[in-house]
């Protein structure tokens, strides 16, 4: 007789941190979301639906069974305390990068990318870039009076790593000020500029890249389960074409954020996130 607690991302994940280079961890923080909260439940839901996917990817002709990766579960956070949560996430990420892990973080809200990327930047000697897929620029200086928010995360990141090291794709929403700032300072690509990804990949080849995917980069038809859906987004099939091109990059870490399962009865948003994670694992290491 055998038993199954369905507790891991894909049944073939292990709990063995030591032997795994690729590690998954849930970061269930959603304290600054201004519109529809609930991304705290995303890591559990993404794991739950991952059993529906194959371990093998036709796209890459590779199987998770040939990879060793571990799922650490969800990081416990001081609930509602933004400052201490950011610090806890930062310390955790620093440890991972110091121990030469290649982590994939399951948000949670987008603000988690700030401590995660800061840790990645710290642990990193050479050039370091962030590739950011999102409907929103997330480049506000502050939001509702707060410096640390899902809507300011890339502004904070840019202050740490330099705005010229940020590449933003899929953007179709923002305030006038933040878009002007982004256009002037970061490498900003409006939603109709996906073709430019080819040039960017060429430029970033051989450099260390952190990938931050806000699920609302997709059109709400494909990812209704998110807090600030924005019509006019990318199609899922087009996204996988782009994602697969990233295998030429040296991705040292990634996050996928803003999945809010309660707004999607069909669970297709979480399933989409799980499939992205599978492809990321297979192209890493």
Interaction with its own copies in 171-200: which residues (CB under 8 A)?
171-176, 179, 190-192
> Which of the stretches 33-41, 112-120, 206-214, 250-258 binds its own copies when contact is defined by CB under 8 A?
33-41
Q: How far apart are CA 22 and CA 227, in angstroms?
A: 28
70 binds its own copies (CB under 8 A): no
Q: What are the φ/ψ torsions at residue 265 (nearest 5 degrees)? A: -65, -30
Shortest distance, CB of residue 237 to Mn ion, whole angstroms?
A: 16
Q: For residue 228, give Cα distances in angstroms to 48, 73, 79.
A: 23, 26, 22
Q: For residue 249, give Cα distances in angstroms to 50, 154, 246.
A: 25, 21, 5
Provide the CB-side half-sphere exposure for 113 (13 A, CA): 32
Binding partner of residue 74 among Mn ion, its own copies, none, CB cut-off 5 to 8 Å per kind: its own copies
Please select the residue that binds its own copies; options are 12, 37, 68, 185, rule is CB under 8 A: 37
The position carrying tokens 């060793």 is 68
**Is 86 or 135 the residue whose CB approaches Mn ion more closely?**
135
Binding partner of residue 98 among Mn ion, its own copies, none, CB cut-off 5 to 8 Å per kind: none
Report angle CA 94, 203, 97 to the nearest 5 degrees.
10
At 83, list the tokens. Answer: 């400052």
Asked if 194 and 184 touch (Cβ cutoff 8 Å), the reply is no
Q: Which residues bind Mn ion (CB under 5 A)?
A: 110, 134-136, 138, 214, 216
Q: How far apart are CA 187 and CA 26, in angstroms?
A: 29
Binding partner of residue 135 among its own copies, Mn ion, none, CB cut-off 5 to 8 Å per kind: Mn ion
Please select the residue that binds its own copies; options are 20, 85, 88, 165, rule is CB under 8 A: 88
* 224 CB neighbour count, 10 Å cutoff: 16
Shortest distance, CB of residue 58 to Mn ion, whole angstroms?
A: 13
The position carrying tokens 């040292």 is 252
Shortest distance, CB of residue 105 to Mn ion, whole angstroms?
A: 14
**Pick from 116, 134, 114, 111: which is nearest to 40 by CA?**
111
Shortest distance, CB of residue 244 to Mn ion, whole angstroms?
A: 22
75 binds its own copies (CB under 8 A): yes
Shortest distance, CB of residue 67 to Mn ion, whole angstroms?
A: 25
Please select the residue that binds its own copies; options are 20, 29, 32, 201, rule is CB under 8 A: 32
Please select the residue that binds its own copies; options are 22, 29, 70, 72, rule is CB under 8 A: 72
Binding partner of residue 175 among Mn ion, its own copies, none, CB cut-off 5 to 8 Å per kind: its own copies
**Is 207 or 245 the residue whose CB approaches its own copies more closely?**
245
Please select the residue that binds its own copies; options are 30, 134, 216, 258, rule is CB under 8 A: 30
């Amino acid at each position: 007789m055998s038993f199954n607690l369905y507790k891991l991302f894909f049944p073939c994940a292990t709990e063995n941190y030591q032997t795994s280079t690729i590690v998954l961890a849930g970061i269930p923080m959603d304290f600054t979301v201004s519109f529809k909260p609930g991304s705290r439940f995303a890591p559990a839901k993404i794991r739950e639906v991952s059993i529906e996917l194959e371990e093998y990817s036709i796209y890459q002709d590779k199987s998770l069974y040939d990879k060793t990766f571990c799922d650490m579960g969800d990081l416990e956070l001081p609930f509602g305390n933004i400052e201490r949560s950011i610090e806890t996430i930062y310390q955790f990420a620093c440890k991972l990068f110091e121990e030469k892990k290649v982590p994939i973080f399951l948000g949670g809200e987008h603000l988690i990318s700030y401590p995660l990327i800061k840790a990645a930047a710290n642990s990193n000697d050479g050039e370091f870039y962030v590739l950011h897929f999102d409907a929103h620029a997330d480049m506000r200086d502050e939001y509702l009076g707060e410096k640390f928010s899902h809507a300011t995360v890339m502004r904070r990141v840019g202050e740490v790593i330099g705005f010229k090291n940020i590449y933003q794709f899929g953007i179709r929403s923002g305030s006038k000020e933040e878009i002007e700032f982004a256009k002037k300072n970061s490498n900003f690509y409006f939603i109709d500029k996906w073709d430019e990804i080819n040039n960017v990949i060429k430029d970033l080849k051989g450099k260390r890249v952190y990938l931050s995917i806000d699920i609302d980069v997709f059109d709400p038809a494909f990812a209704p389960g998110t807090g600030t859906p924005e019509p006019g987004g990318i199609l899922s099939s087009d996204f996988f074409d782009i994602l697969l091109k990233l295998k030429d990059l040296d991705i040292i870490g990634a996050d996928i954020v803003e999945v809010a399962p309660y707004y999607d009865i069909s669970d297709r948003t979480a399933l989409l996130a799980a499939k992205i994670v599978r492809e990321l694992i297979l192209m890493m290491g």
